[in-house]
Structure 1
């Protein structure tokens, strides 16, 4: 049943007399019905909601609150979205998948844990170099759980006014507690930097204290934080996160999955996909996605034929900033490619990359070695 998680929560709230829970999940269900084009069902639930909102009890619900804003400039402290799995499709290693599946199972068994008196701490810290999919994974989690994603805006959260940053953090985390959601704190080191950093002023150290206190009061709110600089985080931060995961550059298997999905509408052979995978070693998932879409976009706009050689060149140009396919620097670049991996960059493969015969490549090498 497609809307079972929301309907189940609505029924649970009704049976327990928790009107806030009923309101939260009814509004979440309405958002999903609107996205899916279920206009008749949407109208029915909206009428029910109107009745709730007109009652004294419903008017006290914190769910009706808009996303909080920064007091001085009125910028929104976060963006609220409703991610879909199509938009946030992500490829992980087997081990990383097990961690994420465990995290989701942990959240889904919240009621069982609470019934046994076991406190739940649904917090996940993601770290790794830029482009490894931290933000996309946060959206993927929200989509799989059927919850909205509340993404903090660092530019609004951090204020130049004394004490305002701590107030903004408290306001945002209190808002996240008021409705079912996944709260995502990106660039986490900006507000969670180690307090023993001598370069930081006292105000930012107070921000960390405020952050720790507010995380402790989140209860069972789902919190995902991400940073490119995990070594900068305050040591106390680590104890607040039940799950931690480092995202690395994609493995060969993950790159194969990624290229297969990115190019599924085009008639590339398995051998060509394998070459893309080999050539893209050390690139992040974001780099692969950007360069692939950039090439496809240019080809479509210019009405050019989709060509495997062109995409291979694009991949190599992303990896090696010294590489050029201009005729005047061809020997230097050919030689450097061979020095990088002589088994991969054979004269036959090089001739394919430069669109010339293998005999001409041999001639170029011979002329420059004399």
Structure 2
């Protein structure tokens, strides 16, 4: 049943007399009905909400409460979106995919866990290098669970006024607890640094204490946090997160799927895709997307035909930086490719990449032996 989670919560709230639960999940159901084009059902549920003196829904917001704002400058503490699976496709290696599937199943079976008196801790900590897909994975999770994504805004959350940051954190987490959503705290180390850091002032240490207390009071709220600097986090943070996962640069299998998705509308053959995969070793998913889209955008704007060699050159520039294409460094880069796979990256192929003669490549190789 497509809308089972929402219907279950609505019935549960009605039986227990929890009007707030009924209203919040009826609003979420209405938003899904709006997206799916179920206008007759949508109208009926809206009428029921109206009879309860609830705010009428529109296409922009289905929450009964607006996202809280920072007290002094009135900046919104978070952005609320409703991601779709079509827009938030993510590729993971099998082990990581298994962890995410387990997390989703864990959340979906929380009613069964309740029946067995097993406490729920719907928290996930993502860490790893920038560009490895932490933000996209949070959006993908929200889409899979059919929930809005509430992304905290660090620029509004952290205040220069004494005590305001802790108040902002409490306000945001109370808001997330009152509505069905996935709360995403990006750049988590900005508010969760280790309290034994001698370089931090007392105010930031109090922020960590406030954060820990508010996480403990989240109940069943789904919390996803992300950081590029997991070593900076306070040790007590780890105990608050039931699931933890490190995201790394994609392996060849994942890069292959990513390139397939990025260039499926362009006439590249399987051999060329294998070249892209091999050349992009060590690049993050974000870097691969950036360099591929930059090149494809350029070909469309200039009315050019796609050229696999040119895209390979762009990938190499991203991977080894521009110096590797200059006289001082190119010999090292050429020999590195040749050592990776001398059949795939033959001297002839390398000469095409650097727009030079094959004899010149042979000469460079001899000079550096």
Tell me whether the two structures share a fold, i.e. TM-score over 0.5: yes
CA distance in 1, matches of 2:330, 2:142: 46
**Structure 1 counterpart of 2:221:** 221
Structure 2's unaligned 5+ residue stretches are 56-62
How far apart are 1:54 and its partner, in Å?
5.1
**Structure 1 counterpart of 2:184:** 184
**Structure 2 counterpart of 1:257:** 257
**Structure 1 counterpart of 2:335:** 339
1:131 aligns with 2:131: yes
Gap change, CA 1:356 and 1:39, over 3 Å in 2: farther
**Structure 2 counterpart of 1:28:** 28
SS of the aligned residue for 2:147 comes to coil
Report if aligned partners of 1:77, 1:152 keep a CA contact under 8 Å in 2: yes
**Structure 2 counterpart of 1:60:** none
Structure 1's unaligned 5+ residue stretches are 56-62
SS of the aligned residue for 2:322 comes to coil
- Give deviations 1:110-168, integer Å, cap 9, x for gaps: 11111221111111111001001111111111110001111000000000000000000
How far apart are 1:324 and its partner, in Å?
6.3
**Structure 1 counterpart of 2:64:** 64
CA distance in 1, matches of 2:89, 2:113: 30
1:1-370 equivalence runs, <5 A: 1-53=1-53, 64-323=64-323, 329=326, 332-343=328-339, 344=341, 345-355=345-355, 358-359=358-359, 361-362=361-362
Report if aligned partners of 1:193, 1:232 keep a CA contact under 8 Å in 2: yes
CA distance in 1, matches of 2:263, 2:163: 50
Report if aligned partners of 1:135, 1:186 keep a CA contact under 8 Å in 2: yes
CA distance in 2, matches of 1:110, 1:354: 57
**Would you say how many aligned residue pairs link Structure 1 and Structure 2?**
359
Identify the range of structure 1 (40-49 vs 261-270) with the bigger mean alpha-carbon deviation: 40-49
CA distance in 1, matches of 2:324, 2:210: 51
Report if aligned partners of 1:283, 1:319 keep a CA contact under 8 Å in 2: yes
Identify the range of structure 1 (177-186 vs 343-352) with the bigger mean alpha-carbon deviation: 343-352
TM-score, normalising length: structure 1 = 0.91
Report if aligned partners of 1:133, 1:247 keep a CA contact under 8 Å in 2: yes
Report if aligned partners of 1:334, 1:350 keep a CA contact under 8 Å in 2: no
CA distance in 2, matches of 1:146, 1:305: 40
SS of the aligned residue for 1:239 comes to helix
CA distance in 1, matches of 2:349, 2:321: 20
**Structure 2 counterpart of 1:59:** none
- Give deviations 1:214-251, integer Å, cap 9, x for gaps: 00000111111100001001111111111111111111
How far apart are 1:267 and its partner, in Å?
2.0
TM-score, normalising length: structure 2 = 0.91
Gap change, CA 1:233 and 1:365, over 3 Å in 2: closer
**Structure 2 counterpart of 1:58:** none
CA distance in 2, matches of 1:137, 1:152: 15
How far apart are 1:78 and its partner, in Å?
0.5
Report if aligned partners of 2:54, 2:64 keep a CA contact under 8 Å in 1: no
Report if aligned partners of 2:320, 2:333 keep a CA contact under 8 Å in 1: no
Report if aligned partners of 2:324, 2:333 keep a CA contact under 8 Å in 1: no
SS of the aligned residue for 1:341 comes to helix
How far apart are 1:204 and its partner, in Å?
0.4
How far apart are 1:9 and its partner, in Å?
2.9
CA distance in 1, matches of 2:45, 2:268: 47
Gap change, CA 1:141 and 1:54, over 3 Å in 2: closer
